[in-house]
Amino acid sequence: MYSVFTRRGDWKTFYKNSPVTSILIIINTLMLIVVLTTGGFDNYNLVDLGGILPSLVIDGEYWRIITAAFLHGSIIHFASNIIIGLLTLSSALERMIGSKKFSFIYFGSMIISGVAVVLLSNANTVTIGASGAIFGALGSLLYITLYRKDMITQQDSQSIWGLIAINIIFTFMASGISISGHVAGIASGFLLSYVVIRRNVFKVLH
């Protein structure tokens, strides 16, 4: 069994194997261009483009829970989510479980983490980024390391656990991070996996 993080071929092959992830990358990239051409990473501009401002969501602008997940606060923020989150983690998960199940987990985690941000964050704090959904993918990969060991190598399992540890530390230590969004994302991805990924009890016990 080869590593789930191994990618072969060109962009056309990548799209064929991970169509939903590919579309997510394209949308995020287009939204980065929109941000850069409409005022940059200023909070006012990010709110205008759909960032989560809890007070506005509570007032009825629920669509912000979705649109905020396609906005980023800097080039570094965008690059890290695209390279690590989508190109690496999300594409691996999509190839392992299929596009429909991946979409359920990714968008489900996006919505749940967004709701958590609205309920648990300061009413006037702007939150943007794909991290909640990406942490959902990471939570699903965690589920696979525990309940579907037949789908993944031991080395990949160790890599996933290492990424989780690093990201949890980073979530609580770094400034400007949505703790509620990250925690809700990884928890929802793990729990949603129970719905669409069958557990292999024999593998768990052995």
Tens digits of residue pLDDT in 109-164: 999 999 999 999 998 999 999 999 999 999 999 999 999 999 999 999 999 999 99
State yes or no: is 131 an active-site residue.
Answer: yes
Report the distance separating Cα 117 and Cα 133, nearest Å.
13
State whether the Cα torsion 173-174-176-180 is positive or negative: negative
131, 159, 188, 193: the catalytic one is: 131
Q: List the one residue out of 118, 136, 162 whose CA is nearest residue 24.
A: 136
The predicted-structure confidence for 11-61, as pLDDT tens digits, reads as follows 889 999 999 999 999 999 999 999 999 999 999 999 999 999 999 999 999
Residue ranges covered by each domain of the chain? 11-205
The model's confidence at residue 202, banded by pLDDT at 50, 70 and 90, is: very low
CB atoms under 10 Å from CB of 150, counted, come to 10
Catalytic residue (one of 77, 182, 188, 193): 182
Backbone angles phi, psi at 139, to 5 degrees: -65, -35
What residues contact 20, with CB distance under 8 A and at least 6 apart? 94, 99, 102, 103, 106
CATH domain 11-205 topology: Rhomboid-like fold (1.20.1540)
Residue 5: half-sphere exposure toward Cβ, Cα within 13 Å: 17
Q: Secondary structure of 83-148 in the HEC alphabet?
A: HHHHHHHHHHHHHHHCHHHHHHHHHHHHHHHHHHHHHHCCCCCCECCCHHHHHHHHHHHHHHHHHC
With a cut of 80, say whether residue 2 has pLDDT above it.
no
Residue 182 known to be catalytic: yes
In this model, does residue 203 exceed pLDDT 70?
no
Average pLDDT over residues 71-76: 96
Q: How far is residue 114's CA from residue 103's CA, in Å, rounded to a whole number? A: 16
At residue 201, does pLDDT exceed 60? no
Residue 82 pLDDT exceeds 60? yes
- Above 60 in pLDDT, residue 1? no
